[in-house]
Amino acid sequence: MTAVQTLEGLIIKDPKLRNGRPIIAGTGVTVRTIVGYYKLGLTPEETADEMGLELAGVYAALAYYHLNRNEIEADIAANMEETVKKDFGAPAGA
């Protein structure tokens, strides 16, 4: 009998990895990163090829995003804010 894989465990959150952001298990690739490719219009297949990931992991990340959209959108917004502050300096009084 062949072992069957399930979706459980494809996406993990560990405070010790990527600041607790959800990642594709065994990769360190955040769901936020996959969503970035998705928003650029890449297909899951293109994303998997581009990043050297298993297709199931990319689909799991997209499923996680659609189930937890507010969490991931907040993470994206926070990352953009961090990037702006890093690149352009914090605004006066911040």
Domain count along the chain: 1
Domain extent, residue 29, equals 11-84
pLDDT at position 80, please? Answer: 87
The CATH number that applies at residue 51 is: 1.10.10.10
Contacts of 23 (CB under 8 A, 6+ apart): 11, 12, 13, 14, 17, 29, 30, 31
Is 58 contained in some domain?
yes
Residue 33: phi, psi to the nearest 5? Answer: -65, -45
What does the angle CA 29 – CA 34 – CA 40 come to, to the nearest 5 degrees?
145
In the chain, DSSP assigns E strands to 11-12, 23-24
pLDDT at position 10, please? Answer: 96
pLDDT at position 73, please? Answer: 97
pLDDT at position 91, please? Answer: 61
Tell me the CA end-to-end span of the chain in Å, nearest whole number: 61
Per-residue pLDDT for the chain (94 aa), expressed as one digit of tens each? 677 777 889 999 999 999 999 999 999 999 999 999 999 999 999 999 999 999 999 999 999 999 999 999 999 999 888 888 888 876 655 5
Is 60 contained in some domain?
yes
